[in-house]
Structure 1
Amino acid sequence: MGLKRPTILQIIPELDTGGAELSAIEIASAVVRAGGRAIVLSEGGRMADRLAAVGGEFIAFPAATKSPLKLLANAAAIERIARKENVDLIHARSRAPAWSALIAARRAKLPFVTTYHGIYNERGRAKRLYNSVMARGDIVIANSRYTADIVKKRYATPEGRIRVIYRGVDLEAFDPAIVSPERIEKLRDRWNVKNHQRIVLHAARLTKWKGQGDVIAAAARIRDKVHDCVFILAGDAQGRDDYRDTLSKQIASAGLEDIVRLVGHVDDMPAAFAAAHTAIVASIEPEAFGRAAAEAQAMACPVISTNIGAPPETVLAPPRVAAKDRTGWLVPPGDIAAYETVLLEALSLDDLARAEIGAHARKHVTEKFSTSEMQRQTLAVYDKLLGTSMQPVFTVAIKKQ
């Protein structure tokens, strides 16, 4: 393997919820299965136990701070940890801690990897400089081709330093065959969905750019045309209580309390997508990857998504593919009339037609967006920088499971 037991240190502000956080845990798992040691510096959160369960090591660290003075102090602390724990490579997944990690990696002469998880807004030179740390890795991992092109355009990062590694879906967890009717029924009961009602599911944290307001507006457009449909808005407010209140008022003012529900965080997302007739991704700003769209397709659930950012790479729809090969629909952001049209089309599908779309969707994600493929490709990045052989060891390990 080159190094006897490579030690990979990842840093991320929190381990609470989200795609970047889940990726950190999944890569920690891959490192351990490849014979390495995986450390994560973070302020912690509800996912910390999952890290321990896969063999990763959690070190409590003030990684969420954005104070310049504290970032410098954090750099010194990361360097001390790296030397004490014999760290071989540092991998940063968020901007503020990435600055500290970059300084520490350079001082300790360690390879530095970044993953560009989101499309950060750039308003002014200061914000552009702040964001640029995510393009300063020895290798920059972009979670979609869309993200990679943004990195190249903004920072002139050479293609040779960029690796497009799509966000992975856990196909063992997101498998329609293993989600029991009891799990689905439990969620339907919790959401007060009647037996005859079909679910349109929007799964995203409550923030304006995720487009919950547009979903509510679309629900109002089809209310009198489809009488067996409930819209479930699943996601944490994460402190945005004012926004949640705004959505509640929008629902009430439109008289939609009977068909639109804010249900908060959902732990069992495979069952949520299995319960849904159709999933909807309504983002009004570009998604760097769009985990919900991929996870829904893994559960054979057709997806309606806005046509900006990375979802056009993950959701197959005309004209990219023939209508018979679609896995969902793509619409312009904020186009409520377009939402109405495709929602009516999706909800008019008979069971056979919906099942065919679902089968295409499951096959598409299985071939292109699995967690194991993301893990293999990330380990290959580490191997390139360290001269190790973690990727082939991991590949053998997962074939034996």
Structure 2
Amino acid sequence: MKVAYLMNTYPLPSTTFIRREIEALEHLGCRIRRYAIRAWPQALVDPRDRAEATATHYLLTRNLAGLLAAALLEAGLNPLGLARSLRPWMRLARAARNGWVRPVAYLLQAAYLRRRAAAEGIDHIHVHFATNAATVAMLARRMGGPSYSFTTHGPDEFEAPERFGFAEKIAHAQFVVAISEYCRDRLAGLARPEDAAKIRVARCGLALEEFAPPQPPRADNRTFVCVGRLCPAKAQAAIPAAVAALRWRYPDLKVILIGDGESRAEVEAACRRHDVADRVILHGWASNAEVRDRIAASRALLLPSLAEGLPVVIMEAFALGRPVVSTRVAGIPELLDDSCGWLIPPGDVRALMRAMESALSAAPDALAARGAVGRERVERLHDRRLLAGTLIGLFREADAKNRAALAGRRAAGRLPAAELLDTP
């Protein structure tokens, strides 16, 4: 079975978990072709991400001629398939409410993807996130392309779910992956009742061999690390106020922010306003190895998010034996509790300050005990080998269904190239 992965933008610093997933599948013998709609426009820091970019085929980036040619060929050689894609395309375009330029682009990309997948012998396409790329995979399927599935993470997908056509995408998918029980419950509420059984939980995984637990933090270690895109949902702009409230008691307190994004100016302004620019350090993006080193050298991970799915960086901190301060949102409480960190209400700066103070005053052995609980938890739930095994099983189920349906069409005298599998 030959599987393709399709992403919206890939690779980028926040998609390390997808790369790890693909690597684990390939280790089990699954052949993976990487597709993405567009390339990340900034320089990639991690060398493994740069290698992934070289191995990825882009549908939209520098490919206008290919898109137009594919659409013309589909219109001439596969008019039935193109026609079958138009009704769901119209429904999704109306639901998105963002004009017609992007929906037309999705249709062109779907035509190109269908033809590319046929030329490369792709049996199944798996998508990460239920947004643009899932739309393209579904339309390609309706045109006669491979079956597809997708993984949903949140939180962006659930902010205005009616705009993403979840019910339609789930109906035509072979299966859907949720990264947490919370995510599965949200998806089940968006799917048709008869499609709820398609939703499976498969938790994101780490390459645990890259995360040997270091020594416990020293008593004089007063450094927190916060990793993630600088954006309103991650709420890094709340950190300077908490640091300012603690700086007199802990004059050597520091918070290192790894990442960048649209909230950088807001975070810098908050640092100046609270006079903590020398204590809240904006590091920018870093390689995977440097992120691991920074977390290992910290006292604890700090993640005061207002909205999340289930952050992989929490898993990374636990794998390195570090406790975590984070918020009670989405899937985070499924991994983090008081035995391995501090769980606080989102948007509560006072609670954030109190949790940081508790971490700062905890003895090294108490911090190590919390970190050990976290390490055991990720070993049990978030080993990428477990994830890859689950996905391989789901891909095989999809392949068996495809083969059975193909055999049925052949027995009925229907030409596989001209007909789609019967779908809802």
* Superposition TM-score tier, normalisation by shorter sequence: 0.7 to 0.9
- The residue type equivalent to 1:269 in the other structure is V
**Aligned residue for 2:422?**
none
SS of residue in 1 equivalent to 2:334: helix
**Aligned residue for 1:386?**
399
Structure 1 unaligned residues grouped into runs of 5+: 1-5, 185-194, 318-325, 389-401
Instruction: Tell me by how many angstroms 1:37 deviates.
Output: 1.8
1:14 aligns with 2:2: no
Instruction: Tell me by how many angstroms 1:30 deviates.
Output: 3.2
- The residue type equivalent to 1:298 in the other structure is A
Instruction: Tell me by how many angstroms 1:113 deviates.
Output: 0.5
The correspondence for 2:387, drawn from 362, 374, 390, is 374
Query: 1:257 & 1:48 partners in 2: Cα distance?
Result: 27
1:39-118 matched pairs, under 5 angstroms: 39-42=33-36, 43-45=38-40, 46=44, 50=48, 57-62=55-60, 67-94=102-129, 95-108=131-144, 110-118=146-154
**Aligned residue for 2:316?**
295
User: Is the 8 Å Cα contact of residues 149 and 176 (structure 2) preserved in structure 1?
Assistant: yes
1:203-222 matched pairs, under 5 angstroms: 203-222=227-246
1:262 aligns with 2:261: no
**Aligned residue for 1:145?**
181
Q: Residues 260 and 136 (structure 1 numbering): CA distance in 2 closer, same or farther, change over 3 Å?
A: farther
Query: 1:336 & 1:41 partners in 2: Cα distance?
Result: 41
Query: 1:104 & 1:163 partners in 2: Cα distance?
Result: 23
- The residue type equivalent to 1:33 in the other structure is H
TM-score (norm 1): 0.80
Query: 2:329 & 2:366 partners in 1: Cα distance?
Result: 26
Query: 2:46 & 2:111 partners in 1: Cα distance?
Result: 24
Structure 2 unaligned residues grouped into runs of 5+: 65-100, 402-424
**Aligned residue for 1:330?**
343
1:33 aligns with 2:33: no
SS of residue in 2 equivalent to 1:312: helix
- The residue type equivalent to 2:154 in the other structure is G
**Aligned residue for 2:251?**
227
User: Is the 8 Å Cα contact of residues 32 and 55 (structure 1) preserved in structure 2?
Assistant: no
**Aligned residue for 2:268?**
248
| 1:132-183 residue CA offsets vs partner (Å, 9 max, x unmatched) | 6367522000111111111111234643101111111221122225x9x9xx
The correspondence for 2:207, drawn from 170, 180, 186, is 170
Query: 1:330 & 1:274 partners in 2: Cα distance?
Result: 20
SS of residue in 1 equivalent to 2:150: strand
**Aligned residue for 2:335?**
314
Instruction: Tell me by how many angstroms 1:227 deviates.
Output: 2.1
**Aligned residue for 1:356?**
369
- The residue type equivalent to 2:205 in the other structure is G
Instruction: Tell me by how many angstroms 1:51 deviates.
Output: 7.0
Query: 1:161 & 1:311 partners in 2: Cα distance?
Result: 23
Q: Residues 205 and 131 (structure 1 numbering): CA distance in 2 closer, same or farther, change over 3 Å?
A: farther
- After superposition, the CA RMSD in angstroms is 3.0
Q: Residues 47 and 276 (structure 1 numbering): CA distance in 2 closer, same or farther, change over 3 Å?
A: closer
Instruction: Tell me by how many angstroms 1:91 deviates.
Output: 1.0
User: Is the 8 Å Cα contact of residues 283 and 306 (structure 1) preserved in structure 2?
Assistant: yes
Query: 2:272 & 2:53 partners in 1: Cα distance?
Result: 47
Instruction: Tell me by how many angstroms 1:197 deviates.
Output: 5.1
- The residue type equivalent to 2:274 in the other structure is A
Instruction: Tell me by how many angstroms 1:27 deviates.
Output: 3.3
| 1:293-318 residue CA offsets vs partner (Å, 9 max, x unmatched) | 1111111011011011111001132x
- The residue type equivalent to 1:336 in the other structure is V
User: Is the 8 Å Cα contact of residues 28 and 55 (structure 1) preserved in structure 2?
Assistant: no
Query: 1:340 & 1:50 partners in 2: Cα distance?
Result: 36
SS of residue in 2 equivalent to 1:362: helix
SS of residue in 2 equivalent to 1:166: coil
Instruction: Tell me by how many angstroms 1:262 deviates.
Output: 1.0
Query: 2:305 & 2:379 partners in 1: Cα distance?
Result: 24
**Aligned residue for 2:198?**
161
Query: 1:69 & 1:276 partners in 2: Cα distance?
Result: 48
| 1:85-104 residue CA offsets vs partner (Å, 9 max, x unmatched) | 01110112231121111121
- The residue type equivalent to 2:282 in the other structure is L
User: Is the 8 Å Cα contact of residues 208 and 319 (structure 2) preserved in structure 1?
Assistant: yes
User: Is the 8 Å Cα contact of residues 20 and 207 (structure 2) preserved in structure 1?
Assistant: no
User: Is the 8 Å Cα contact of residues 11 and 52 (structure 2) preserved in structure 1?
Assistant: no
- The residue type equivalent to 1:35 in the other structure is G
| 1:98-133 residue CA offsets vs partner (Å, 9 max, x unmatched) | 1111121233353211111222244485x2537963
User: Is the 8 Å Cα contact of residues 127 and 133 (structure 2) preserved in structure 1?
Assistant: yes
SS of residue in 1 equivalent to 2:301: strand
Amino-acid identity (%):
25
**Aligned residue for 1:394?**
none
| 1:323-372 residue CA offsets vs partner (Å, 9 max, x unmatched) | xxx11110000111211222111111112111111111111111111111
User: Is the 8 Å Cα contact of residues 143 and 167 (structure 1) preserved in structure 2?
Assistant: yes
SS of residue in 2 equivalent to 1:333: coil
Query: 2:204 & 2:166 partners in 1: Cα distance?
Result: 24
Query: 1:315 & 1:347 partners in 2: Cα distance?
Result: 18
User: Is the 8 Å Cα contact of residues 118 and 145 (structure 2) preserved in structure 1?
Assistant: no
